[in-house]
Amino acid sequence: MELTNKNFPALKNDRLLRAALGKEVDKVPVWVMRQAGRYLPEFQAVRAKHDFFTVCRTPELACEVTLQPLRRYPHLDASIIFSDILVIPQALGMTVEMHPGLGPVFPNPLKDPSEIDNLQEENAVSRLDYVGKAITLTRHKIEGKVPLIGFTGAPFTLMGYMIEGGGSKTMAKTKEWLEKYSNEVHKLLAMLSRVIVDYLVMQVESGAQLLQVFESSADHLPRELFKEFSAPYLKTIRSEVKRKLEAKQLEQVPMTVFAKGGGHSLDVQAGLGYETLGLDWTVDPIEARKIVGDNITLQGNLDPQDLYKKPEEIRSMTIDMVRKFGKHRYIANLGHGITPQTPLESMTAFTEAVHEAV
Ligand code: CP3
């Protein structure tokens, strides 16, 4: 049988989708950001043979590493397609390399706003067609065990990498752009938003069942700048994805926004139209719920560093966390991605404890 986007196996575990949509669940759903990653020896084995972006670009390899955490941790209630947020700058014509130990490197970052015009918006999403293929293949290979999450970087986070040329502790150049070239910055953020919308719609068409938008660099934005340079684009992305799915007669999917370091703007985030808000570990679950109200799902937020504690301690911290969030409208996760040295048994303790907690 041909593996198309029309004949997917039926979904057997819909806890994640139910929680995102505010429906009742038998157990709290759990997944982990970066669950397919370097803490897994089987992931390291694939990476020893293939370059990072080769794994992203080869549907069979991307599918294999997406499935790896599910094999080891049967309590996981979701999978997230293996890719990276930086495939968008690549599709716009920028070179991005992944240097082991250093992270992503752009040999030619944007030096000034005149270079924005060199970015190739036209057909950018067709150059990301390999992500759609990986999603379709994975939806078949996952056999309906859990839903498959698609994702993207948010415009401000992507722009930061494109200007800084990689990860940056200070974001000094980006902050200079926000001050000096705010018109051009808004033009670039709007262009990135258009590409992101079509990219997300393509992911749904390919089989993604929930979409997460990573605003990982929100920790650099105080509230006022978050309201100017992040929130409006996140809002447009949500409403445009909805509108385009409808126009294409595709099924609607729930969406999550995760603004790391955005704890100062939860009220703003609650008004962006997303079904779920991701929280980093600095946010108190009870305070967050008070701010956002009852009509939105929360996701998070154990500190990834807590997974370096003993399994018994992880269990009790996790149960505590789940009790604070409560069973309704809640998806358990870490407050950011799992880190490379995390012991394998920590994930067992974390995922099992979520399902044991009430
Ligand atoms: O399992 C999953 O969560 C899916 C895969 C995934 C990766 N990157 C794989 C990856 C996802 C969702 C991402 C998103 C991503 N990529 C973000 C947003 C999430 C976040 O962490 O805030 C960001 C900022 C990036 C950019 C990026 N990619 C950085 C900063 C790094 C280096 C960090 C590091 O851990 O070294 C990457 C590399 C990367 N992306 C790895 C993985 C598994 C490790 C690189 C490797 O295998 O050599």
- Per residue in 279-301, pLDDT (tens digit) is 999 999 999 999 999 999 999 99
In sequence order, the β-bridge partners of residue 77 are none
Read off the tokens for 193.
């938003």
85 CA → ligand 1 middle, Å: 8
Whether residue 358 has pLDDT greater than 80: no
What is the DSSP-derived secondary structure letter of residue 114?
G
pLDDT score, position 289: 98
Report the share of the chain in percent with pLDDT over 90: 97
With cut-offs at 50, 70 and 90, classify the pLDDT of residue 78.
Answer: very high
Q: Could you report the predicted ipTM of this complex, rounded to two decimals?
A: 0.92
Return the best residue to mutate from 42, 44, 85 for the ligand 1 pocket (most ligand atoms within 8 A of CB). Answer: 85
2 three-class SS: coil
Integer CA distances (angstroms), 155 to 67, 160, 192, in order: 28, 9, 6
User: Look-up: residue for tokens 């939806």?
Assistant: 139
Q: Are 95 and 108 in contact (CB under 8 A)?
A: yes
Class of domain 15-301: alpha beta
User: Strands 79-80 and 148-153, how do they pair?
Assistant: parallel
Q: Identify whether the C-beta of residue 43 lies closer than 8 Å to the C-beta of residue 350.
A: no
What would the mean pLDDT of 97-104 be, rounded to a whole number? 93
Residues paired with residue 30 on neighbouring β-strands, in sequence order: 332
Atom 21 of ligand 1 has which residue's CA nearest to it?
Answer: 337
Residue 102 Cα: closest atom of ligand 1: 36
For the whole model, what pTM was predicted? 0.97
Query: In this model, does residue 141 exceed pLDDT 90?
Result: yes
Give the count of alpha carbons within 13 A of 222, CB side only. Answer: 3
Ligand 1 pocket test target in 32, 33, 34, 83 with most atoms within 8 Å of CB: 34
Look at ligand 1, atom 43, and give the residue with the nearest C-alpha: 37
Give CA torsion, residues 129, 92, 160, 235, to 10 deg. Answer: -60
The Cα angle at residue 178 between residues 173 and 183, in degrees rounded to 5: 130
pLDDT above 90: residue 37? yes
Query: How far is the centre of ligand 1, averaged over its atoms, from the C-alpha of 40 (Å)?
Result: 14
Residue 1 has pLDDT above 80, yes or no: no
> Which residues form the catalytic set?
34, 38, 47, 84, 161
Q: What confidence category does residue 2 fall into, taking pLDDT thresholds of 50, 70 and 90?
A: confident
- Going from N- to C-terminal start, the domains of the chain cover 15-301
* SS3 (DSSP) at 334: strand
On the question of a cis peptide bond just before residue 301, with omega within 30 degrees of 0, the verdict is: yes
* CA–CA separation, 333 and 354 (whole Å): 9
Q: Is 105 in the pocket of ligand 1 (CB under 6 A)?
A: no
- Residue among 142, 117, 125, 7 at smallest CA distance from 62: 142
Q: What is the DSSP letter of 276?
A: E
Q: Is 34 in the pocket of ligand 1 (CB under 6 A)?
A: yes
What are the tens digits of pLDDT across the range 191-237? 999 999 999 999 999 999 999 999 999 999 999 999 999 999 999 99
**Residue (of 162, 152, 171, 176) closest to 116 by Cα position:** 162
Mean local confidence (pLDDT), 104-123: 98
Give yes or no for residue 315 having a pLDDT over 90.
Answer: yes
Length of the chain: 358
* Angstrom distance (rounded) from CA 234 to CA 193: 8
Asked if pLDDT for residue 100 goes beyond 90, the answer is no
